[in-house]
Structure 1
Amino acid sequence: MRTATCCCPSTCTRPAPARNRPRRPVYWSDALAAELRRAKLAHTSIGVLFLDLDRFKEINDIYGHPAGDQTIANLVQAEVRSSDLVARWGGDELAIMLPDLGHQQLLDVAERIRSGSPAHQSP
């Protein structure tokens, strides 16, 4: 499994087990494995989206990767819950884990993200 870290600061750290310790990054493979175990025990579902953002490389090339990360955060965080995990999977690819989401709800989230993306908007 490819290692990816979350791109949205509000959802990409997890509290450290002991007090007064820094928060540590959440890695996609760790989070997915934990969520799969939880879903199996609770008999619930997990939605996973993989997105390839058109023209996203242009944003990174012109404005830099920090601006690209902020663009992703603004675009995606508006359409997902705080319990969902958004990770950069590649240069212009994202992986989103959405616990307790059914098939139609997952499609609805994907469509909202797609229709709100800069590549889908008219100039």
Structure 2
Amino acid sequence: MNPLTYTLVVNGSVYGDQSPRTAYQFAVSLINQGHQLVSVFFYQNGVTNGCSLTVPANDEFDLVKAWQVLAQKHNIRLETCVAAALRRGVVSQDEANQHNLMQNNLAQGFEQAGLGSLAEAMLTQDRVVQF
């Protein structure tokens, strides 16, 4: 079997929705099977997966940290849709500067991108899977 390249699209909120955790488990599984996960695009409420201010309870899985570790270990781009993120209060340092905000809260390892990045992934990856 030839390895395939993937991009995942995550629409669900970091907590309160099962889809981000399922996407993470799928990501781990496809990497373990020898495929390449190129990027994860967080869209709609999924942008909350990139918030640095998320603090899960001690007995809960830290999904933001899990995405960060997976991305660093396997060179995966973690992209939050900039427009959706701004609407939901997830702001990078660049966006904070541009909009004269005093703080930012985009988690380390995540970047903000436009829908053009998702469109490019759809054209260049073997598979794009939405959660």
TM-score range, shorter chain: under 0.3
TM-score by length of 2: 0.23
